[in-house]
A and B are shown apart, each in its own frame.
Chain A
Amino acid sequence: MAIDSALENKVTEWVGSVDDVKNLVSERAISGETMLLNLGPHHPSTHGVLRLLLELDGEEIVTCLPDVGFLHTGIEKTIESKSYEKGVTCTDRMDYLAPMSNNTAFCMAVEKLVGLDVPERAQVMRVICLELTRIQSHLVWLGTHAIDLGAMSVFLYCFREREKILDLFEMISGQRMMGSYMRPGGVWRDFPAEFVPGVETFLDEFPSRIDDYELLLTTNPLWLDRTQGIGVVEPDVALAWGFSGPTLRGSGVNWDIRKAMPYLGYENYNFDVPLGEHGDVYDRYLCRIREMRESIKIIRQALQRLPGAKGGFRSENRKFCPPPRAELGQSMEAVIHHFKLWTEGFAAPDQEVYVAIESPRGEIGCYLHGTGGNKPRRVHFKTPSFMHIQGIPLMSEGHMIADLVAVIGSVDIVLGDCDR
């Protein structure tokens, strides 16, 4: 068949043998005493295309070797071939459950590189979007985590609420998921009139929905059996492995970039950072649930702040932000700026910057190196999922194979985030 030959030409398959993994697994695997099992990349509980090579002693995991890269898309390389404004679009598709967080990390790096100020109003708008993103990401996590452990209905409820957030995103950006709403210097457009009432309605009903989820899970004996005491990580170990976000806070380490290195005016908001005690799957679950409640608090404060916030939704610096349509008919200068920005983009100095923000999964950092021209020399993202996948062996070794599923769910990995 033509397709077969095409496959042979295009894709070289890895031809491996047990010898290649000899030094990675224990002696017992070679003698056949323990079993080698391949989990993924096509497996429903690996949350995408993660592959794990497991060495099993009966049901017990002896070694676990993650194999990543099945979703390596070359996003960083693609951004390097685009002007700064266009690069934003690619960042949505990395951590596809938190597009707005990626956008913001990238935009803040660009802003730092060129020294662009973001108006206060735009900052408040960003905070609203970021926290809504956090809620919707945690909803997907909760739904899939619960489905992995056998609680089907939670998935349906979570997605019901998530749809409402996606409706709000569609309202402001025209797209349900990949809005590319954040732009260097602010956001794409002002909120439409119906957005703020929409958010308020959502916030009014959402706390009772979280109560519903908790009713289904938090005290459910089956849930407790499957999650308590599983995948325990000590605080110092979690720090040593570079964990961040709820995965770190579940171990009781108080580290939240919103508090530790505030950005977008997070220091002015009043919220708590939920911490776990035992560092097991259950504590990470509780942390995320409580985080959703904290996000509601933050959004409420931001909504109050929005009418009084100074400035527009985007910086007025015309060297970096395009002029509004209406100006084009009146000012020659506006036409020139418009033309320059949409054909060539803006130039950034030959310097490097690093900006980190707190995404729903943890620290997402953007390293950016300018060239003096309109494209970056190097873009690199430090993504939380990559760090957390390293921790899966540590959390799962010695446990049953069924607990591995709980561990994978509890670190909330997104393979697009890890492989990029």
Chain B
Amino acid sequence: MGVTQKLGDLGVVTTTLETAINWARTGATWPLLFGLACCAIEYMSTQGGRYDLARFGMELNRASPRQADLMIVAGRVTRKMAPVVRNLYDQMSNPKWVISMGDCASCGGVYNNYAVVQGVDEIIPVDVYVAGCPPRPEQLMHGILTLQEKIMGERIKEWA
């Protein structure tokens, strides 16, 4: 609708390959169906009716890491869970992104103790950090939009 209104009946849109690919990727980033702790409940709320994550093309959670593009680490990563998280990340196919949701995943939160990995970035690379304990759904959506901005800025020559 938007495009036809702007361009009339031209039937042709010119763009660069880079923009087209990035645009396609932002609109359909499938998250991995993966929850660790309390933050996962807020993540579920985000998918619920009121916040409706489907607006960003992300309602489709994939339980298999092979089919997912985005890992939302929602919750505290414990020492026992860390190898599993890394394993899941390794199984995801490229291109892949990571959002660290909540204080625990970002820096260990209040749990500076023997059991919790002090930030999931110790084991996997993180693209966007979302603060909060737990972050409100709005905050998570802001994180997702920030990630989409980041994806839009990616360059083909950097992929290789």
Chain A interface (Cβ < 8 Å from any Cβ of B) = 3, 6-7, 10-11, 13-14, 41-44, 48-49, 69-75, 77-78, 89-90, 93, 96-97, 140, 144, 155-156, 159-160, 162-163, 166, 176-178, 415-416, 419
Contact = CB atoms under 8 A, between A and B. Distances in A.
B110 A78 contact: yes
Contact of A72 (B34, B83, B115): B115
A49 B81 contact: yes
A41 B36 CA distance: 9
A96 to B, nearest CB: 4
Nearest to B44: A159
B142 interface: no
B82 interface: yes
B128 interface: no
A3 B125 contact: yes
Given A78-B113, A162-B45, A176-B136, A72 B37 contact: no
B53 to A, nearest CB: 12
Contacts of B61: 44
B42 interface: yes
B45 to A, nearest CB: 6
Contacts of B124: 3
A287 B114 CA distance: 39
B82 A10 contact: yes
Q: Classify the secondary structure of B's interface with A.
A: loop
Contacts of B83: 7, 11, 13-14
Contacts of A155: 48
Contact of A73 (B41, B76, B136): B76
A163 B45 contact: yes
Nearest to A92: B38
Contact of A159 (B45, B79, B86): B45
Contacts of A14: 83
Contacts of B122: 6-7, 10
Contacts of B81: 41, 49, 70-71
A90 B48 CA distance: 27
Nearest to A140: B41
Given A73-B76, A96-B37, 19 more contacts: A3-B124, A6-B123, A7-B82, A10-B79, A10-B122, A14-B83, A42-B88, A44-B63, A49-B84, A69-B80, A74-B111, A75-B111, A78-B111, A90-B110, A96-B41, A160-B50, A162-B45, A163-B49, A415-B37
A217 B49 CA distance: 20
Nearest to A14: B83
Contacts of A177: 38, 41-42, 134
A222 to B, nearest CB: 22
**5 closest Cβ contacts across the A-B interface?**
A159-B48, A96-B38, A74-B115, A74-B113, A11-B82
Contact of A71 (B76, B88, B123): B76
